């Protein structure tokens, strides 16, 4: 009798497990059928249980900070826009920035006065103004941005804006500038001088010349945490893309990228160890901003992904990127502007930076050519293309794109 009862219990457990397995298998099938992403949580010796379905977030505001790999992020967002047939909040009046460096106003967006908050994506350069942004974007918008170590950021800004920022013009190189920045920098000079000191702080809408008072800086950091759902770190770009993908409930293919707006190595100026430390003092507001959100970035990864899963997904991302590069690109690395054969793919040049671009392989089929082209199209050209799509009746000085783009 005991043997029969024991056998019955064993059979019962197996049947329950089979029923549970069949149930979750059905859920997985339905998620695939309806194109839903799913999250899993590990339990019981490596067995995984379904946690909850999630749908891709499509209302997104990206604060595009300067010289932080934000052009690459912008390309990712533009491609996502086309994938889901979304609408971008493009600059009004043939502009490329949303009023920058002025504080953002809703009227800087094309057709806002007639359409109101009917946009899905906002990602052009602007100086953040939450009150005005909320007039343009839906209530359920996800806000995110990206930061970069101020040491490398200032060097990059110096080379890129050398011909524009008065503080940079007056010095021979970045080391001379940092030796005595107060000699060259005049805070009363507006315009491009914003790139010479605490530029990220300025992009977030705050005074880049403010005193570094502890109460003030902490209050600003709290406000940024309140306004933004996620802050990425350019110095860990692949890790940032994995975190962004998970947070937005996107597919890994959505964040695969080719690095855009990069510059030739021979234009990089090496900072002395002393001047690297001086950047942290000269741009102390940016330094505190970066330190704070670098910590929150890694804490977010630990809590939501875990380092093991993070590096597994980073490896997958890099594998996909390598495959696409082999499939799309004629050259294994980006090339100088003079070597770019298609004029439509030449990036904007600025200062002493020597911005690089790409050449595509020959004889690609139309579908492959279309996807490869969009991954390497510089932001100004891509924006002109999207403008023509959204506002076909408006006259705009734009590039003549090949027929297969449509």
pLDDT digits (tens, 9 = 90+) for 343-387: 889 999 887 888 899 999 999 999 999 999 999 999 999 999 999
Looking at the structure, do residues 188 and 312 belong to the same domain, yes or no?
yes
Q: How confident is the model at residue 23 (pLDDT cuts 50, 70, 90)?
A: low
Q: What is the distance of C-alpha 286 from the center of its chain?
A: 18
Give Cβ neighbours of residue 13 (< 8 Å, ≥ 6 apart): none
pLDDT for res 190 = 73
Please state, in angstroms and rounded to a whole number, the distance separating the CA atoms of residues 175 and 181.
10
Looking at the structure, do residues 235 and 381 belong to the same domain, yes or no?
yes
Whether 82 shows a pLDDT value over 50: the answer reads yes
DSSP state for residue 88 in the 8-state scheme: B
Top pLDDT among 134 and 39 is at: 134
Please state, in angstroms and rounded to a whole number, the distance separating the CA atoms of residues 149 and 159.
16
Does some domain include residue 127? no
Residues in the chain: 406
Does some domain include residue 96? no
Q: How confident is the model at residue 19 (pLDDT cuts 50, 70, 90)?
A: low
- Look at residue 380 and give its three-state secondary structure: helix
- Percentage of residues of the chain with pLDDT beyond 70: 84
- Number of domains forming the structure of the chain: 2
Does some domain include residue 4? no
Q: What is the mean pLDDT of residues 220-234?
A: 98
- Look at residue 331 and give its three-state secondary structure: coil
Does some domain include residue 112? no
Does some domain include residue 240? yes
Does some domain include residue 193? yes
Average pLDDT score over the chain: 87
Looking at the structure, do residues 31 and 156 belong to the same domain, yes or no?
no
Whether 272 shows a pLDDT value over 90: the answer reads yes
Q: Tell me the whole-structure pTM to 2 decimals.
A: 0.85
Looking at the structure, do residues 271 and 378 belong to the same domain, yes or no?
yes
Does some domain include residue 345? yes
Whether 98 shows a pLDDT value over 70: the answer reads yes
Does some domain include residue 161? yes
C-alpha triplet 259, 263, 269: angle, nearest 5°: 135
Whether 26 shows a pLDDT value over 70: the answer reads no
List the structure tokens of 219.
Answer: 């209050």
Please state, in angstroms and rounded to a whole number, the distance separating the CA atoms of residues 204 and 64.
10
Domain ranges, residue 23? 11-54
Looking at the structure, do residues 49 and 147 belong to the same domain, yes or no?
no
Looking at the structure, do residues 42 and 164 belong to the same domain, yes or no?
no
Give Cβ neighbours of residue 319 (< 8 Å, ≥ 6 apart): none
> Residue 382: which of 403, 366, 398, 396 has the closest Cα?
398
């Amino acid at each position: 009798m005991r043997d029969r009862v024991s056998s019955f219990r064993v059979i019962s457990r197996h049947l329950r497990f089979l029923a549970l397995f069949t149930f979750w298998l059905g859920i997985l099938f339905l998620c695939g059928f309806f194109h839903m992403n799913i999250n899993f949580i590990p339990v019981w010796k490596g067995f995984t249980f379904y946690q909850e379905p999630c749908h891709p977030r499509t209302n997104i505001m990206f604060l595009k900070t300067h010289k932080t790999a934000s052009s690459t992020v912008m390309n990712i967002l533009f491609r996502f826009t086309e994938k889901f047939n979304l609408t971008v909040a493009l600059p009004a009046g043939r502009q490329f920035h949303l009023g920058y460096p002025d504080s953002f106003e809703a009227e800087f967006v094309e057709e806002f006065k007639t359409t109101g908050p009917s946009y899905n994506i906002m990602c052009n350069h602007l100086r953040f103004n939450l009150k005005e942004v909320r007039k343009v974007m839906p209530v359920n918008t996800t806000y995110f941005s990206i930061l970069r170590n101020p040491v490398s950021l200032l060097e990059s800004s110096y080379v890129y804006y050398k011909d524009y920022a008065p503080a940079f013009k007056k010095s021979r190189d970045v080391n001379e500038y940092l030796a005595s920045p107060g000699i060259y920098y005049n805070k009363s000079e507006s315009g491009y001088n914003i790139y010479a000191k605490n530029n990220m702080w300025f992009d977030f809408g705050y005074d880049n010349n403010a005193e570094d008072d502890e109460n003030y800086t902490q209050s600003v950091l709290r406000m940024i945490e309140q306004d933004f759902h996620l802050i990425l770190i350019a110095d860990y770009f692949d890790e940032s893309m994995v975190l962004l993908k998970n947070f937005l409930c996107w597919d890994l293919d959505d964040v695969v990228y080719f690095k855009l707006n990069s510059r030739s190595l021979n234009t990089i100026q090496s900072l002395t160890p002393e001047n690297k430390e001086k950047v942290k003092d000269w741009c102390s507001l940016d330094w505190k901003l970066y330190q704070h959100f670098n910590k929150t970035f890694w804490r977010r990864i630990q809590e939501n992904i875990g380092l093991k899963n993070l590096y597994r997904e980073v490896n997958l991302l890099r594998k996909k990127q390598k495959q696409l590069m082999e499939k799309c690109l004629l050259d294994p690395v980006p090339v100088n502007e003079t070597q770019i054969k298609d004029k439509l793919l030449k990036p904007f040049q600025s200062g002493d930076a020597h911005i690089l671009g790409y050449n595509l392989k020959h004889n690609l089929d139309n579908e492959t050519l279309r996807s490869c082209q969009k991954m390497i199209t510089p932001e100004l050209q891509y924006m002109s293309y999207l403008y023509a799509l959204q506002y076909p009746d408006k006259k705009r000085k734009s590039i003549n794109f090949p027929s297969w783009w449509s």
